[in-house]
Structure 1
Amino acid sequence: MAVPELVPRRTVGGVIAVWVVAALLGIAIAVFVPGDAQAQWLIVGLGGCIVLSFIVQLGYGRSQQFVERVAASVLGSLVVLGVISAGIGLAAILPR
């Protein structure tokens, strides 16, 4: 017989952790990857964030709102990497 949790762990931390990893990946890609390959590596970084969000949310072991938590992680990662991509694009067209 399974015993229900009296106070379940908060799952917001896992969502925000994936966003932080996406920001770190985006900054690393902007700094270390040559300009002509940055777009491809940002897509690879987003794929890694998708896999990481599944791993983190499966690690919680809770089936309630699993899809919503994964969707929030992935959507947040997409927004973070999109903002970093826009910054990279603006930096590329501005005169130095």
Structure 2
Amino acid sequence: MAKGYMYILECSDNSYYTGSTRDIERRLRQHMEGTGANHTAKRLPVTLLYYEEYDRIDHAFYREKQVQGWSRKKKEALMDGNVELLPGLAKKIFNKHKRK
């Protein structure tokens, strides 16, 4: 049985909320009741779009933090199962100093 979940919700304003929890059913109830998070409380109702199960909560939390930093397009590729697109959707970091 899973001991942790990373999940993505869609809010009423079409924004995404990424979180992690040990009990996904209880956490979803909290979000729907407006007590889950400030972001979701102001954007009810929410819909569960995606989740991943982990053996340990710290792995789910690590994955939450990873996915939170992703662009909307990259999250959508993950949710659609298009994992081959993920590397190409990574944020590009440019060095301000040119090489000589």
TM-score above 0.5: no
TM-score between the two structures when normalised by the length of structure 1: 0.29
- In proportion to residue count, which structure has more helix? 1
Q: Which of structures 1 and 2 has the bigger CA Rg?
A: 1
**Larger relative contact order (CA 8 Å, sep ≥ 6):** 1
